[in-house]
């Protein structure tokens, strides 16, 4: 049995975040909250999301795992206004998820969970950590995307730089230590990542305050942020683009 009600803005954040990586996901409704863990088909990007039950207006749950298409959830959430509530109902008897927004009800057949096994999270020891305004980071990614698809992240104990060099143009966005919430680096490091994956996520995290980046030379990027006053958290992992291998 599942009876969950959420504000439109909370559901929009959940759906848009997961949809950055996958079109289908298994949503694990547990006693104390929602957990989602997904990896993209190329195994380049991975997300783990946790949302505490306190973030929801209603949370009556017998633990259940539901595979759902993000497109269908996004279509329904797009019909909701800023103050509307989105309701989920599920029972084993019907085998369907019913989404309600006001007078609108949509029945959705869940996907086969056996095709949606959550990935294992990597264990990483990353030498550099930068905590920065999500708005600032999103702006720097958008600027970099104007020149190329691959962004260089570099840092030392006193500075963090986002840069791209194209065929004719380049973009450099530099942040001194004073411009950042915090920076901790073991010496200097630099690594390259795909903006094709980062820019869509930046559209989601931009309003949520600080974002924490952890990275190292030719190592995955770990990006974390919180939303809904800390009730929701996201861990995002992105594989590096090793220069010379493409």
136 and 99 in one domain?
Answer: no
Q: What is the pLDDT of residues 6-33, one digit of tens each?
A: 999 999 999 999 999 999 999 999 999 9
Mean pLDDT computed over 199-221: 95
**Is pLDDT above 90 for 239?**
yes
Mean pLDDT computed over 95-123: 92
What is the distance, to the nearest Å, from the Cα of residue 4 to the centroid of all Cα atoms in its chain? 22
- What percentage of the chain has pLDDT greater than the value 90? 87
pLDDT band, very low/low/confident/very high, at 244 (cuts 50, 70, 90) = low
67 and 132 in one domain?
Answer: no
pLDDT band, very low/low/confident/very high, at 246 (cuts 50, 70, 90) = very low
Mean pLDDT computed over 228-235: 96
Instruction: Please report the sign of the dihedral spanned by the C-alpha atoms of residue 160, residue 40, residue 110, residue 92.
Output: negative
> Is residue 230 packed enough to be buried (19+ CB in 10 Å), middle (13-18) or exposed (0-12)?
exposed
DSSP 47-75: EEEEEEGGGSSEEEE--EEEEEEHHHHHH
The CATH number covering residue 38 comes to 3.70.10.10
Q: Is 232 helix (H, G, I), strand (E, B) or coil?
A: strand
190 and 97 in one domain?
Answer: no
pLDDT averaged over every residue in the chain = 94
Q: Name which of 155, 180, 154, 176 is nearest 165 in CA terms.
A: 154
75 is a domain residue: yes
pTM of the model: 0.92
Q: Name which of 190, 174, 176 is nearest 140 in CA terms.
A: 174
**Domain encompassing residue 159:** 128-238
Q: What is the pLDDT of residues 70-107, one digit of tens each?
A: 999 999 999 999 889 999 999 888 889 999 999 999 99
166 and 141 in one domain?
Answer: yes
Token pair listed for 197: 């994956």
147 and 231 in one domain?
Answer: yes
Q: What is the pLDDT of residue 107?
A: 95
197 is a domain residue: yes
**Is pLDDT above 60 for 148?**
yes
157 is a domain residue: yes
Q: Do 115 and 129 form a contact (C-beta atoms < 8 A)? A: no
Strand order in the sheet with 33-39: 64-69, 24-30, 33-39, 45-52, 232-238, 221-227, 210-215, 128-133, 182-185
Instruction: Please report the sign of the dihedral spanned by the C-alpha atoms of residue 148, residue 149, residue 150, residue 153.
Output: positive
50 is a domain residue: no
164 and 104 in one domain?
Answer: no
- What percentage of the chain has pLDDT greater than the value 70? 98
107 and 13 in one domain?
Answer: yes
């Amino acid at each position: 049995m599942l009876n969950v009600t959420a504000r439109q803005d909370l559901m929009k954040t959940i759906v848009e975040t997961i949809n950055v990586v996958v079109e289908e996901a298994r949503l694990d409704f547990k006693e104390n909250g929602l957990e989602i863990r997904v990896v993209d088909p190329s195994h380049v990007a991975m997300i783990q999301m946790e949302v505490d039950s306190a973030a929801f207006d209603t949370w009556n749950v017998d633990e259940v795992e539901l595979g759902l298409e993000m497109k269908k959830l996004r279509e329904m959430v797009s019909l909701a206004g800023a103050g509307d509530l989105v309701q989920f109902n599920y029972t084993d008897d019907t085998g369907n998820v019913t989404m309600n927004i006001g007078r609108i009800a949509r029945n959705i057949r869940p996907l086969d969970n056996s095709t949606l096994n959550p990935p294992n999270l990597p264990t990483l020891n990353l030498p550099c950590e930068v905590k920065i305004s999500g708005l600032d980071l999103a702006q720097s990614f958008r600027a970099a995307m104007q020149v190329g698809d691959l962004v260089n992240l570099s840092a030392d104990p006193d500075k963090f730089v986002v840069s791209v060099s194209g065929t004719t143009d380049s973009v450099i966005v530099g942040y001194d230590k004073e411009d950042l919430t915090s920076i901790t680096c073991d010496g200097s490091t630099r690594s390259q990542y795909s903006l094709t994956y980062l820019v869509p996520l930046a559209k989601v995290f931009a309003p949520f305050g600080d974002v924490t980046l952890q990275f190292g030379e030719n190592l995955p990027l770990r990006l974390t942020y919180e939303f809904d006053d800390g009730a929701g958290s996201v861990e995002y992992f992105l594989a590096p683009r090793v220069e010379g291998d493409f």
